[in-house]
Amino acid sequence: MPVEHLFRDLPEEDREAALNLLRLQLARRRRRAAVRPDDAPQTPPPLTERTEKRCPRCDTVKPVTAFGVSRTRPDGRQGFCRLCRRRV
């Protein structure tokens, strides 16, 4: 795609720098499109829901409802049960 006409008013060194920047951006877009096609799923498949979890502080297995919700953890629950979190 010829784009030299867009930069014809610039000095020679600035013109070359601008063209190199455009070429790099175009190459980057092509690499991204090759790695991640639009029809590929962007999110991992959902994990199976666990019904029990072990609290490492009191060392007991409890239902997952005994653990608070945490959006930052992979399983979506706090690391310690609610009773242990209250004791701290």
- The gap from C-alpha 10 to its chain's centroid, in whole angstroms, comes to 40
Strand partners, 54: 61
Q: How far is CA 73 from CA 9, 32, 54, 56, 70, in A?
A: 55, 29, 15, 15, 6
Task: Please report, for the chain, the start and end positions of each structural domain, with discontinuous segments joined by +.
Answer: 4-35, 52-87
pLDDT at 82: 96
Strand partners, 63: 52
pLDDT at 47: 61
- The gap from C-alpha 16 to its chain's centroid, in whole angstroms, comes to 35
The pTM score is 0.45
Which amino acid type is present at position 9?
Answer: D
pLDDT at 50: 80
pLDDT at 39: 63
pLDDT at 42: 62
Type and span of the H or E element at 13: helix 12-35
Instruction: Please choose, from the candidates 80, 56, 57, the residue with its C-alpha nearest in 3D space to the C-alpha of residue 67.
Output: 80
Three-state SS at 76: coil
pLDDT tens, the chain, 88 aa long: 566 677 677 787 888 888 888 888 888 888 877 766 556 656 665 566 788 999 999 999 999 999 999 989 988 899 999 999 998 7
